[in-house]
Structure 1
Amino acid sequence: MGTALVTGASAGLGLEFAWQLATARHDVVLVARDAERLERLAGQLNAAAGVRAEVLPADLSRREDVERVADRLRQDERPVGLLVNNAGYSTGDSFVGSDLAFHEQALDVMVRAVLVLSHAAASAMTERGRGAILNVSSVAALTTAGPYSAHKAWVRVFTEGLAVELRGTGVTATALCPGLTHTEFHERAGVDRSRFPELAWLNADDVVAAALADVRRGAVISTPSLRYGVISEVARLLPRAAIRRLSDLSGAATLAEESY
């Protein structure tokens, strides 16, 4: 048993990570903005799995809140053995003419927070000689769905570079690249699921189970499901001009919105 810290733990994939880690007998540190929701979840995890569920409310768009989470990752008492950088949200379909402050906030959450927390976790874990970092990217990282794709492409490449640097330390880094996944996000965002066939959708429990299995075996890129593995390989091989055209035709921004 060990302790896992999950950001964005109150909903979507983060909630599923919290449950699967707790039922696997890991203590958890739950990070999200909604303290009341986190407290309720902590009570449920404790009652159902008998683990310690620590609540750490934080808005990861705020540098001081990110630093509080980083301080928790650096602690020697109840050390964190797994960091799951999951927090994130859709940036919508358009950039030009939209609110720049909103996009800056998204960059803070999905890029800067991942950078800062990965640095804190990797530093502490390498000193102990063990640990794992799981950063949630997306298959949208291979498309051109505006700032969201750019954020997730950064997460993917950053994690690959981190994995190289961590070789031989006992610490691993994995980028999770899910596709369309059924979570509560869709109802909250008012997304029309019918835009995509049912075959395109993954279940959150399967995505999380595959991701944790890949972390255990030290995989650098985790792409749950054969179909998205094939899609990702095709996307990597296609000319970028073709990717831009396909992204425009297929509504890739909506694909990006579904990753949590």
Structure 2
Amino acid sequence: MTSFPSTALITGASSGIGAAIARQLAARGANVILVARSEGKLRALADELSLQYDVEAEVMAADLSRPDAGKALQAQVQARGLQVDLLVNNAGFGGFSEFAQQDQAEIGEMIAVNITALTDLTRRFLPGMLERGRGRVLNVASTAAFIPGPLMAVYYATKAYVLSLSEAVNEELRGTGLSVTALCPGPVETGFQDASNLNESKLLSGATRLAMLDADEVARIGVDAMLRGQAVAVAGGINRVQVSAFRLLPRAAIPRIIAGLQARREE
């Protein structure tokens, strides 16, 4: 990471794509600030990265669904005398359910983590990057960002927001030396499917499951794209083909297609 001898703050870093991104960045020489709710998992990862890559690894346990989470996290960063040169907004979760039956508290928490916290943290740390004249933001979106998603309506909508915000702010940063990258993976072999009850869906069967990337590959793609200053990175050849195909279809047909693909498996 010769271009960025830096410190990276990674949310949702305790497992999955977040932990894999932390390993990618540490391997390239970045010190890391690991953020998630599970302090024990973060400390284990911090010890691993410090030992293997000889970098500094800070742990900041935080619940990003709380309204004051971003402010408290920024205060911790400042209190420890750190600066954030690379911000990775990875924390997020989904839920598999018809919208009318989805738990309202879950919807509120999903929007708080997937949208509000991501927006808040980017707004808090981006001005410092601009003052120093260098920095990168990586927002983990999804191929879901390109289409409406019946049975996961709120999750798909939050990822559409992430993609739109990322592209817009990236354009605002043109000529500054900074950039925002939206990483858009499809289904990934992590604990996301279990947490979201997505294993009930037909989506994770047959060819889709065979095409799933692992978290390490997605992390590598995302970090490479971020460091290049690439605006959008769709991870995986099949996913890129699918995204392109949906752009060619009539808009009105897409929700029905996705509803069929994502329908519950028959018992």
TM-score, L = length of structure 2? 0.89
Deviations 1:108-127 (A, max 9, x none): 00000111011112111111
1:243, CA displacement in angstroms?
Answer: 0.9
2:253 is matched by which residue type in structure 1?
Answer: A
1:47 aligns with 2:51: yes
Among 68, 93, 118, the alignment partner of 1:89 is: 93
Query: How far apart, in 2, do the equivalents of 1:69 and 1:189 lie?
Result: 26
Per-residue deviation, 1:184: 3.2
Q: Matched residues in 1 for 2:206 and 2:75: separation?
A: 42
Counterpart CA distance in 2 for 1:119 and 1:224 is 26
1:195 maps to which residue?
Answer: 205
1:178 partnered with 2:185: yes
Aligned partners of 1:105, 1:13: CA distance in 2, in Å? 20
Aligned position for 1:12: 16
Partner SS state of residue 44, structure 1? helix
Could you tell me which of 165, 170, 179 is aligned with 1:163? 170
Give deviations 1:128-152, integer Å, cap 9, x for gaps.
Answer: 1100000011001122220000000
Unaligned runs of 5+ in 1: 255-260
1:33, 1:19 → 2: CA distance? 19
What runs of 5+ residues in structure 2 fail to find an aligned partner?
A: none
Q: Say what the alpha-carbon RMSD is for the aligned residues.
A: 2.1
Match of 1:150 among 151, 157, 170: 157
Would you say how many aligned residue pairs link Structure 1 and Structure 2? 254
Give the counterpart letter for 2:243 in structure 1. Answer: S
1:32 pairs with one of 33, 36, 39 = 36
Aligned AA for 1:241? A
User: For 1:85-124, what aligned pairs fall within 5 Å after superposition?
Assistant: 85-124=89-128
* One-letter code aligned to 1:171: L
| In structure 2, C-alpha distance between the alignment counterparts of 1:242 and 1:74, rounded to whole Å | 49
Which amino acid is 1:115 matched to? T
Distance in 2 (CA, whole Å) between partners of 1:109 and 1:15 is 17
Mean CA deviation greater in 238-247 or 173-182: 238-247
CA shift for structure 1 position 72:
5.1
Supply the distance in 2 between the matched residues of 1:121 and 1:74 (Cα, whole angstroms): 11
* TM-score, structure 1 normalization: 0.91
For residues 122 and 91 of structure 2, what CA distance do their matches in structure 1 show? Answer: 13
CA-CA distance at 1:208 after TM superposition: 0.9
- The yes-or-no answer on 1:213 pairing with 2:224 is yes
| Counterpart in the other structure of 1:257 | none
Q: Pick one of 224, 233, 241 that aligns with 1:230.
A: 241
Residues 41-61 of structure 1: CA deviation (Å, up to 9, x unaligned): 111111111111100110000
How far is 1:220 from its partner?
Answer: 0.4
1:134 is paired with a residue of what secondary structure?
A: strand
Question: Does residue 246 of structure 1 match 2:257?
Answer: yes
Residue by residue over 1:198-240, the C-alpha shift from the partner in whole angstroms, topping out at 9 and shown as x without a partner, is 4321121111111111112111001112221111111123222
Partners of 1:25 and 1:114 in 2: CA distance: 25
SS at match of 1:80: coil
Cα distance in 1 between the residues matched to 2:83 and 2:92: 24
SS of 2:99's equivalent? Answer: coil
When residues 56 and 237 of structure 1 are mapped into structure 2, their CA distance, relative to the original with a 3 A threshold, is same
Letter of the structure 2 residue corresponding to residue 208 of structure 1:
A
